[in-house]
């Protein structure tokens, strides 16, 4: 099915109230793994009592060789293997508190995975959103900051317009997307760049 014809799309569109500080959505084409719910992004796993979510754009080589010993993939996608590998490494590194040293460690780990192929990814533990852009410029990745002073946002998709003036509360934050979604000025990630967001702020940047 096309994304906007799926039952999941209609459920989210009609659900009366969804609240979160972080959302990850991924509309993708099948690129090797079977078309099934088990291979649907974003993936989710629990580690140390915290839910992690992950989405990946690209294709990895030899992904079944990744160390996933503590987190077995349910499906057969390279994306889920990469996610389980990352969580396995976080567990072995015994990271409970995310700060600059652990950000740098994660940046190096993702860089190693990127050596196996094309790797754009989003990872979140609910508090932090980790966004990485492929070192070889696979596809693209952009971000934009929205502050507390809102105006209507004109989406490049002709069917929709976001009326932010109807929001009860004014929020600050970032939107990250493969391509710009509005006619505003979006910033492009640098190749091999990791940006970490928390509560509407950039808290860490690293690139090669």
Question: Which helix H or strand E contains 83, and what residues bound it?
Answer: helix 78-93
Phi-psi region of 200 (alpha: psi -120 to 50; beta: other; left: phi over 0): left
Q: Which of 2-6, 51-55, 120-124, 203-207 comes out lowest in average pLDDT?
A: 2-6
pLDDT beyond 90 at 73: yes
The pLDDT value recorded for residue 162 is 60
Read off the DSSP letter of residue 182.
Answer: B
pTM tops 0.75: yes
| Average pLDDT score over residue span 147-151 | 57
Three-state helix/strand/coil letters over 21-71: CCCCCCCCCCCCCCCCHHHCCCEEEEECCEEEEEEEECCECCHHHCCCCCC
Confidence of residue 96 (pLDDT cuts 50, 70, 90): very high
Q: Which two tokens stand for residue 102?
A: 């652990």
pLDDT beyond 70 at 164: no
pLDDT for 29-72, tens place per residue? 666 666 777 788 899 999 999 999 999 999 999 999 999 999 99
Q: Using CB atoms within 10 A of its CB, is residue 63 exposed (0-12), middle (13-18) or buried (19+)?
A: buried
Q: Are 56 and 25 in contact (CB under 8 A)?
A: no
């Amino acid at each position: 099915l096309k994304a906007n014809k799926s039952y999941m799309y209609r459920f989210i569109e009609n659900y009366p109230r969804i609240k979160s500080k972080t959302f990850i959505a991924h509309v993708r084409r099948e690129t090797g793994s079977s078309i099934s719910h088990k291979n649907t992004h974003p993936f989710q796993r629990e580690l140390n009592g915290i839910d992690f979510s992950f989405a990946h754009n690209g294709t990895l080589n030899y992904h079944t060789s990744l160390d996933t010993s503590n987190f077995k993939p349910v499906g057969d996608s390279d994306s889920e293997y990469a996610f389980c590998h990352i969580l396995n490494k976080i567990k072995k590194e015994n990271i409970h508190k995310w700060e600059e040293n652990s950000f740098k460690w994660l940046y190096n780990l993702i860089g190693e995975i990127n050596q196996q192929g094309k790797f754009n990814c989003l990872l979140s533990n609910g508090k932090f959103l980790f966004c990485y852009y492929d070192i070889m410029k696979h596809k693209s990745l952009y971000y934009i900051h929205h502050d507390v002073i809102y105006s209507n946002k004109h989406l490049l998709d002709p069917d929709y317009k976001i009326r932010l003036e109807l929001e009860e509360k004014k929020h600050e934050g970032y939107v990250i997307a493969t391509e710009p979604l509005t006619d505003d000025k979006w910033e492009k990630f640098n190749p091999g760049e990791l940006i970490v967001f928390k509560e509407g702020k950039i808290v860490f940047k690293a690139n090669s």
